[in-house]
Amino acid sequence: MGEDKPIALDAYEKLADAYAALIDTKPHNAYLERPATLSLLPDVKDKRVLDAGCGPGVYSEWLVRHGASVVAVDASPRMVELAKKRLGKLDVRLHDLRDPLDFLRANSVDIVLAPLVMDYIEDWVPALKEFYRILVQGGLFVFSMEHPFTKSLWHKSEDYFKVERVELLWVGYGFPISMPSFKRPLEAAVNPLFESGFIVEKILEPRPTIEFKDKLPEDYEKLSKQPGFMCIRARKQHQGA
CA distance 158 to 163: 12
Q: Is the pLDDT of residue 240 over 50?
A: no
- DSSP bridge partners of 169: 178
Cα–Cα distance measured from residue 63 to residue 47, given in angstroms and rounded to the nearest whole number: 9
pLDDT per position as a tens digit, 3-19? 599 999 999 999 999 99
In which region does residue 46 sit, left (phi positive, over 0), alpha (psi from -120 to 50) or beta (all else)? left
What is each CA distance from 240 to 43, 126, 237, in whole angstroms? 26, 23, 8
Residue 115 forms beta bridges with which residues? 144
User: Residue 239: its pLDDT value, please?
Assistant: 56
Indicate the Cα dihedral angle 189, 190, 192, 196, nearest 10°.
140
Burial group, residue 100, by CB count within 10 angstroms (0-12, 13-18, 19+): middle
Instruction: For the chain, report the end-to-end CA distance as a whole number of angstroms.
Output: 34
Asked if residue 188 has pLDDT above 80, the reply is: yes
DSSP 40: T
Residue whose C-alpha is closest to residue 206's, from 25, 34, 22, 23: 34
Region 65-93: mean pLDDT is: 98
DSSP for 74-132, written as a single string: ES-HHHHHHHHHHHTTSEEEE--TTS--TTS-TT-EEEEEEET-GGG-S--HHHHHHHH
- The mean per-residue pLDDT over the stretch 64-91 comes to 98
Encode pLDDT of 94-111 as tens digits: 999 999 999 999 999 999
Mean pLDDT of the chain: 95
Domains, the chain: 9-159+181-236 (3.40.50.150)
Burial (Cβ within 10 Å: 0-12, 13-18, ≥19) of residue 165: exposed
The DSSP 8-state label assigned to residue 32 in this structure reads: I
CA distances from 117 to 39, 201, 216, 219, 220 (A): 18, 20, 24, 23, 24
